[in-house]
Amino acid sequence: MTLREIFIQELMALLAAAPLFPAQVERSLSVAFSREESPVLVIHRGDEGVDGDLADEVIRECQILVSVITRSDVPDQQADSVMEVAHPLLMSYKADALLGIWEEGTKAPMFANTDGQACMLTTQYRVQYRTDRLSLSA
């Protein structure tokens, strides 16, 4: 398993284990969209780049996207409430090989064309980590 996938799995476990976390936690957007339950928080990947090359090691930066899918009369407000709880947990995450995590911003809410009560709000995080230059794992 790659380090970026390990980070995602551990972040999912961290949120799911938080007492009274206000959303279900998923890895797949398609699973979240097919559910009737609301809200659902999905952790998925964005882009990745190589920031530096240090002989046998590289520093990688991977975008981790956290999308909250809600269905309500004020879905963007409900998504914001979920992120209010999730954000400090995500920012406090620590792992071997992880050099840092920071927030890059939040995209504008996307509302479903057929159902104005469905919304997706995505916050972008960037993780920086170190690997062997020939490997994506620890």
pLDDT bracket for residue 86 (50, 70, 90) = very high
Q: Give the mean model confidence (pLDDT) for residues 75-81.
A: 93
Q: Give the mean model confidence (pLDDT) for residues 3-25.
A: 96
Structure tokens at 40: 């659902």
| CB neighbour class for 19 (10 Å; exposed up to 12, middle 13-18, buried from 19) | exposed
CB–CB of 35/115 below 8 Å? no
- pLDDT 10s digits, 99-111: 999 999 999 999 8
Query: What are the b/e assignments for 35-68, b being 16+ CB within 10 Å?
Result: eeebbbbbbbeeeeeeeeeeeeebebbbbbbbbb
Measured between alpha carbons, how far is 86 from 42 in angstroms, rounded to an integer?
11
Domain boundaries, the chain: 3-132
pLDDT bracket for residue 54 (50, 70, 90) = low
Confidence (pLDDT) at 52: 66
Structure tokens at 71: 């269905």
Measured between alpha carbons, how far is 31 from 123 in angstroms, rounded to an integer?
19
Q: How many residues are given for the chain?
A: 138
Return the higher-pLDDT residue of 92 and 73.
92
pLDDT bracket for residue 129 (50, 70, 90) = very high
Is the pTM for the entire model greater than 0.85? yes
Q: Give the mean model confidence (pLDDT) for residues 90-101.
A: 95
Structure tokens at 90: 């995500």
User: Which stretch, 25-34, 79-88, 104-113, 128-137, has highest mean pLDDT?
Assistant: 79-88
What's the Cα-to-Cα distance from 103 to each of 71, 75, 111, 118, 131, rounded to whole Å? 25, 22, 23, 24, 22
CATH number of the structural domain 3-132: 3.30.2000.10
Cis ω for the linkage preceding 22 (within 30 of 0): no
